[in-house]
Amino acid sequence: MSAENNLVLAVPKGRILDQLRPLMDKAGIHPEPAFDDPKARQLQFGTNVPGLSIVRVRSFDVATFVAFGAAHMGVAGNDVLMEFDYPEIYAPVDLNIGHCRISVAEPTALSQEDDPRQWSHVRVATKYPEVTRKHFAARGVQAECIKLNGAMELAPKMGLCRRIVDLVSTGTTLKENGLVEIEEIAQITSRLIVNRTALKTQPDEIGGWIEKFQEVVNAG
Partner 1 sequence: MNSGVKKSLLPQGLRDLLPPEAIHEASVMDGLLEAFSIHGYERVEPPLVEFEENLLDGAGEAMAPHTFRLMDPVSQRMMGVRADMTPQVARIATSRLAAMERPLRLFYGGQVLRVKGSQLRPERQVAQAGVELIGADSPEADAEVIALAYEALQTLGVENLSVDISLPTIVRAICDDLGLDRDAKEDVRSALDRKDAAAIAAMAGPVAGIFGGLLQASGLADKAIAALNELTLPEAAAAERDRLILVVERLSDMALGLMVTVDPVEHRGFEYQTGLSFTLFDRDVRGELGRGGRYLAGAADEAATGFSLYMDTVLRAVPKRERRSRLYLPHGTDLDIARRERTAGWITVSGLAPEKDVLTEAARLRCSHVLTLDGIVAVEKE
Q: Which residues bind partner 1 (CB under 8 A)?
A: 1, 3-4, 67-69, 81, 86-94, 189, 191, 197, 200-204, 207, 214
Q: Which of 97, 82, 78, 73 is nearest to 194 (CA)?
A: 73
DSSP E strands, the chain? 7-12, 44-46, 52-57, 73-77, 89-94, 100-107, 121-126, 142-147, 163-168, 179-188, 190-195
Q: Shortest distance, CB of residue 107 to partner 1, whole angstroms?
A: 34
Q: Which is nearer to partner 1, 29 or 193 (CB)?
A: 193
Minimum Å gap between C-beta 203 and partner 1 is 4
Taking the least distance from each CB to partner 1, the nearer of 96 and 173 is: 96
In the complex, minimum distance from the CB of residue 176 to partner 1, in angstroms, rounded to a whole number: 32
Q: Which is nearer to partner 1, 81 or 168 (CB)?
A: 81
**CB nearer to partner 1: pick between 163 and 191:** 191
Residues 65 and 89 sit within 8 Å (Cβ to Cβ): no
Residue 41 Cα distances to 35, 44, 45, 207, angstroms: 10, 9, 11, 32
Minimal distance, residue 80 CB to partner 1, in Å: 13
Q: How far is the CB of 127 from partner 1 (least distance, A)?
A: 19
Least distance in Å: CB of 138 to partner 1? 12
Phi-psi region of 139 (alpha: psi -120 to 50; beta: other; left: phi over 0): alpha
Q: Which residue, 173, 171, 166, is CA-closest to 188?
A: 166
Radius of gyration of the chain (CA): 19
Residue with smaller CB distance to partner 1, 32 or 94: 94
- 44 in Cβ contact with 7 (< 8 Å): no
Q: Check if the beta carbon of residue 147 is closer than 8 Å to that of residue 165.
A: no
Nearer to partner 1, 37 or 68 (CB): 68
